[in-house]
C-alpha cells in the first residue's frame, strides 16, 4: 500500500512519457494469468481484479474449437504465473504445449479436473438411432452452478499464488458467486414457464450442461461437441420436422461461425434466426462493448424466453 502511494506522488511531478514506465513497475506486483476461453478469462479477471494481469489466448472473433496456439502464445503461457485451461476435450492442443514449457514455477490449472463433466450419454436425446456422439462434453460453463465451481477453483489458486491478497480474492469471489447464484435462480424461474421444453439448435450444441441443469431437451444436427463436422442433410431435415411439430418460429445459431445450417432451417421453416451465445470466445465488437459471461447469459435467457414461449 505504501509503495502505491509513493509511486502516485512521484508520478504527479514527472512528465507523462515516464508514466508508462512507472505503471509497468507497479504491474510486477500482479500475478500473470493466461486463460484459454472467454468464460475462464472473465472469471479470472473478476476474481483477480487489480492484483491480476489476466489475458485471453484466443484472439477476438476466433472460433475456439479449431484454434491452434502460435509460438508466441506458447511463450506467453511459459512466462505466466498461472495457466488456466478448460481441459483436453476443449483444448486438445494443451498437453502438447504443456510438454514444451520450461518454466518450473508455472501453475497449471486444468478446470476439467475439478468440475463434474458430462459424457455424451448423459445427454438426453429424442431419438436413439443417431447415437454417434462420443466423448466428454467440454461446455461446463453454460451451467452457472458448474461455472461457480470453476470460480472457486480460480479463487483458491490465486490465494495460493498470492497469499498477501487472500482477503481481496475471497471477497471478489464471494460477490461473483452470489451473482452466479442469482443468475441461476433467474433462469430456473423462467424455465419453469417455458411452453416448449426443447432447444432446437442450428449450431454445434454447447448448451448440454445448461439443458441438463434446467431439465430441458435439446436437438442439434451436429454430431459431437465441436463445429468441425458438418451435419448430415437428414439430420437437418429431422430438425426442420421438429420445428414444425413444436410450431417454433425461432431457430438458434452459434457465435463466430457463418450460420449456414441454421439459415437453411430458417429459410425452410420461415423461422427467425437468433444467436444463442455459447461464449467460447467473443468478437472484437463484443469485447469493446464490454460483454461479460453474466451479460451473455442474460441475453441468452431472453432469447430462450422469446423462442420457447411462456405458458402465461
Name the site residues for Zn ion (rule: CB under 5 A).
Answer: 206
User: For Zn ion, which residue has the nearest CB?
Assistant: 206
Query: CA–CA separation, 33 vs 84, rounded Å?
Result: 7
CB of 260 to Zn ion, least distance (A): 17
CB of 278 to Zn ion, least distance (A): 6
CB of 3 to Zn ion, least distance (A): 43
Which of 194/205 has CB closer to Zn ion?
205
Q: Which residues pair with 253 in a beta bridge?
A: 275
Which of 139/165 has CB closer to Zn ion?
139
Which of 177/281 has CB closer to Zn ion?
281
Query: CA–CA separation, 218 vs 277, rounded Å?
Result: 15
Which residue do the cell numbers 435462480 mark?
185
CB of 103 to Zn ion, least distance (A): 29
Query: CA–CA separation, 277 vs 295, rounded Å?
Result: 11
CB of 135 to Zn ion, least distance (A): 12
Which of 48/227 has CB closer to Zn ion?
227
Which of 173/220 has CB closer to Zn ion?
220
Which of 34/206 has CB closer to Zn ion?
206
CB of 113 to Zn ion, least distance (A): 19
Amino acid at each position: 500500500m505504501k509503495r502505491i502511494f509513493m509511486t502516485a506522488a512521484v508520478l504527479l511531478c514527472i512528465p507523462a512519457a515516464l508514466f508508462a514506465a512507472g505503471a509497468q513497475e507497479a504491474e510486477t506486483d500482479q500475478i500473470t494469468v493466461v486463460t484459454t476461453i472467454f468464460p475462464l478469462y472473465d472469471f479470472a479477471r473478476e476474481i483477480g481484479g487489480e492484483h491480476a494481469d489476466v489475458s485471453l489466448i484466443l484472439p477476438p472473433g476466433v472460433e475456439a474449437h479449431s484454434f491452434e496456439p502460435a509460438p508466441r502464445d506458447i511463450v506467453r503461457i511459459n512466462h505466466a504465473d498461472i495457466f488456466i485451461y478448460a481441459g483436453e476435450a476443449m483444448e486438445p492442443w494443451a498437453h502438447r504445449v504443456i510438454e514444451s514449457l520450461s518454466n518450473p514455477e508455472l501453475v497449471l490449472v486444468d478446470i476439467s479436473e475439478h468440475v463434474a463433466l458430462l459424457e455424451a450419454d448423459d445427454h438426453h436425446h429424442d431419438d436413439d438411432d443417431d447415437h454417434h456422439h462420443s466423448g466428454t462434453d467440454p461446455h461446463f460453463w453454460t451451467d452457472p452452478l458448474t461455472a461457480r465451481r470453476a470460480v472457486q477453483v480460480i479463487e483458491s489458486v490465486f490465494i495460493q499464488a498470492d497469499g498477501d491478497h487472500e482477503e481481496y480474492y475471497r471477497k471478489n469471489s464471494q460477490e461473483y458467486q452470489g451473482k452466479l447464484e442469482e443468475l441461476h435462480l433467474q433462469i430456473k424461474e423462467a424455465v419453469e414457464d417455458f411452453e416448449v421444453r426443447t432447444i432446437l439448435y442450428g449450431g454445434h450444441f454447447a448448451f448440454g450442461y445448461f439443458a441438463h441443469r434446467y431439465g430441458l431437451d435439446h436437438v442439434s444436427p451436429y454430431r459431437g461437441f465441436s463445429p468441425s463436422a458438418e451435419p448430415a442433410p437428414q439430420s437437418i431435415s429431422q430438425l426442420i420436422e421438429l420445428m414444425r411439430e413444436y410450431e417454433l418460429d425461432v431457430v438458434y445459431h452459434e457465435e463466430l461461425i457463418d450460420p449456414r445450417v441454421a439459415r437453411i432451417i430458417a429459410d425452410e421453416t420461415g423461422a427467425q434466426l437468433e444467436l444463442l451465445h455459447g461464449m467460447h470466445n467473443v468478437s472484437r465488437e463484443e469485447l469493446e462493448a464490454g460483454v461479460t459471461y453474466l451479460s451473455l447469459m442474460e441475453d441468452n435467457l431472453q432469447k430462450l424466453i422469446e423462442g420457447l414461449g411462456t405458458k402465461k
